[in-house]
Amino acid sequence: MSFVPTDSRREADAQAALQTAFAPQSVAIAGVSPRTTGWGGGQMFLRAVRNLDRVPQVYCLNPRGGELDDGTPLYRSLAEVPGPVESLISAVPASAILGLIDDAVAKGVKVIHLFTAGFGETGDAERAELEAEVLGRLREAGIRLIGPNCMGIHSTRGGVSWMDDGSSKPGRVGMLSQSGMNASEVVGEGGRRGIDFSNVASFGNASDLNEADFLDFLAHDPDSDIVLAYLEGIRNGRRFLRIAREMSQARKPLVVLKGGLTEAGSRAASSHTGSLAGSAQIWNAVQKQGGFMPANSVEELLDLAVTIERMPGVAGPRCAVLGGGGGVSVLAADICDRNDIPVPWFREQTQEVLREFTPVAGTSIRNPLDAGFMLEGDHMETALSAVADDPSIDWLMVHTGTDGGGPRARQDDNLRQMADGLAAVAPKLSKPLAVVIRQSRTAVGFERGLGLQSALNERGIACFQSIESCARAVRRYLDWQDR
């Protein structure tokens, strides 16, 4: 049974290559244009790496040589590079790839990331052959491949990235994604939602290193407490399932968004990353056996990360819904109920406490608690504590809009007061708290919402963008805990 050792040898090799790819001592970027403006793939990787604290030794390649505006030399080829190169990022066109591969073999590169696209995913037979040829030459040389057709590695600690806006901070959430755009969206939006990332891989066509290799790495990565995944095809379902089950047993949360579950989506996945997306039935079975949390959108991946990081102690589904607006409260209760989140009436004792300072007209003190005023004034602590201490309640959902009428300064004051109040009260509550900042409809309200979210994030309070997404995430997390 020679295939077992061979497979496990290749798997071990893969992990060693990924250790290098996520934190290389030296990187070469092939295809760096001397123009510093514009997108140009190579420049993007260079800017991204230079934004990070830990910058490995970086070499830039361009067949025409010369240098960048800041004097950085452009080497004509890998052979010209004066030091060793552990990791190579290729932003050259597919037509130049074979030459680069041969140079990499000669240079003793350990791992290559092909940002380069235009291979099997195009559906063109010649281009698929080229991909096979690349893979063959690398395999012979013992070099491992990330991609092609992907953004590669983002690791603020490891000093590699494609996210060139400089906004990423090191965090405790890992991610594997077949789509670079979806990974960028999760990391970028994550930053705004208080979710920071440890190690992220965008791996496109997954010709060599596939979803199972990346999951294996993140499952054992001590910097990643939670793992998010966006997948189109599954190359090694059995191994993926085995690792997912191990994570489930170790209570390390894994959340998976699967693209291409419908016929149309599956065809799109084949054009995008050359993936065979498989059927929804098969995926349902995988999901059941894998013991991970499913997500249906990029937003849901982050909703679950927020829930896991900031509401780990939620012990059950029964929710107290607090905020202003009768119609909103009715619809909120409907939404919770539809997501299997009960909204039980408060016990009489709780209602009595609330009744003391709540005007009878235009409010309700049952549950939902329709009394927006108490999120702005002195009664917040009394109200939230009374509700949290109600034994019929497992967690609290406070919701607010940010488009309120009245003078802008007063609105801003109100929200600041609310953020300060919630931050002061939350640690004293006997149950977990979530805050929903309902979608804004004006530019002023949107900015106010971002401000409120960031103030609450800083204090470690879970924030969501809609009542629906909050209820759904808590339900998914509880289902996972219950397994």
Subset of residues 67 to 86 that bind its own copies, contact rule: CB under 8 A: none
Helices 380-388 + 348-355 axis angle, to 10: 180
* Minimum gap (Å) between residue 29 Cβ and its own copies: 18
Query: Three-state SS for 462?
Result: strand
Q: In the set 94, 130, 293, 396, which binds its own copies (CB under 8 A)?
A: 94
> Site residues for its own copies, window 189-228 (CB under 8 A)?
189, 192
> Site residues for its own copies, window 346-385 (CB under 8 A)?
360-362, 364, 366-368, 370
Residues 97-136 vs its own copies: string with x where CB under 8 A?
A: -------------------xxx---x-x--x---------
Nearer to its own copies, 68 or 280 (CB): 280
Pairing relationship of beta strands 395-400 and 319-323 according to DSSP bridges: parallel
CB 230 within 8 A of CB 178: yes
CA dist 256 and 115 (Å) reads 23
Please tell me the count of residues contacting its own copies according to CB under 8 A: 75
Q: In the set 42, 174, 325, 432, which binds its own copies (CB under 8 A)?
A: 325
List the one residue out of 228, 212, 215 whose CA is nearest residue 172: 228
> Site residues for its own copies, window 383-402 (CB under 8 A)?
none
> Site residues for its own copies, window 133-152 (CB under 8 A)?
149
Q: Does 273 bind its own copies (CB under 8 A)?
A: yes
CB 217 within 8 A of CB 199: yes
The pair of structure tokens assigned to 280 is 């929804």
The residue range among 51-59, 152-160, 307-315, 325-333 that interacts with its own copies, by the rule CB under 8 A, is: 325-333
What are residue 369's DSSP bridge partners? 322, 365
Q: In the set 102, 447, 458, 479, which binds its own copies (CB under 8 A)?
A: 447
* Minimum gap (Å) between residue 483 Cβ and its own copies: 25
Q: In the set 330, 424, 430, 479, which binds its own copies (CB under 8 A)?
A: 330
Q: State the amino acid at position 118 in one-letter form.
A: G
> Site residues for its own copies, window 418-437 (CB under 8 A)?
none
Nearer to its own copies, 164 or 246 (CB): 164
CA 119 remoteness from chain centre = 27
Q: Does 329 bind its own copies (CB under 8 A)?
A: yes
Q: In the set 178, 207, 400, 469, which binds its own copies (CB under 8 A)?
A: 178
Nearer to its own copies, 105 or 331 (CB): 331
Nearer to its own copies, 96 or 105 (CB): 96
Q: In the set 268, 417, 454, 475, which binds its own copies (CB under 8 A)?
A: 268
CA dist 256 and 230 (Å) reads 6
Strand order in the sheet with 26-30: 74-75, 57-61, 26-30, 87-90, 111-114, 144-146
Q: Does 412 bind its own copies (CB under 8 A)?
A: no
Phi and psi (nearest 5°) for 153?
Answer: -110, 135
Nearer to its own copies, 7 or 340 (CB): 340
CA dist 398 and 408 (Å) reads 22
Nearer to its own copies, 118 or 237 (CB): 118
Q: Does 313 bind its own copies (CB under 8 A)?
A: no
Q: Whose structure tokens read 């057709």?
A: 149
72, 84, 145, 257, 401 from 159: Cα distances, Å: 18, 17, 19, 27, 39
Q: In the set 269, 293, 375, 422, which binds its own copies (CB under 8 A)?
A: 269
Nearer to its own copies, 168 or 248 (CB): 168
Q: In the set 345, 377, 428, 430, which binds its own copies (CB under 8 A)?
A: 345
Nearer to its own copies, 24 or 42 (CB): 42
Q: Whose structure tokens read 């590079």?
A: 81
The torsion region of residue 149 among left (phi > 0), alpha (psi -120 to 50) and beta comes to left
Query: Three-state SS for 170?
Result: strand
CB 390 within 8 A of CB 424: no
What are residue 463's DSSP bridge partners? 435
